Amino acid sequence: MPEWTCYLVRCADDTLYCGITNDLDRRLAAHNAGSGAKYTRSRTPVTLMYREKLPDKSAALRREAEIKNMPRAYKLALCQAPAPVFNAE
């Protein structure tokens, strides 16, 4: 069963984008090639700021919704955590 990742990237215009994927390297390459999400297409390059591994797509979607509903300051705090890569239990 593939592992899923919820991630946050900082776009070139200093905005944040949250998404999920089961292949983070491929997804980041797509964002930076301009073929990722519509939001990031005109805001390249993007830089990975945070990632969180989750056991399945459903958990990743729930976490993505939680992060998207956070204020920007909370999202930035996630990025500043001492170890910004977390594994869900």
Instruction: Tell me whether the omega of the peptide bond preceding residue 2 falls within 30 degrees of 0, making it cis.
Output: no
Mean pLDDT score, 47-75: 94
User: 4-87 belongs to which CATH class?
Assistant: alpha beta
Residue 84 has a pLDDT of 46
pLDDT digit string, tens, across residues 36-53: 889 999 999 999 999 999
Is-contact 8 49, C-beta < 8 A? Answer: yes
- Residue-averaged pLDDT of the chain: 89
Q: Rounded distance, CA 13 to CA 9, Å?
A: 11
H/E run at residue 20: strand 16-21
Cα 82 from chain centroid (whole Å): 17
Mean pLDDT score, 51-68: 94
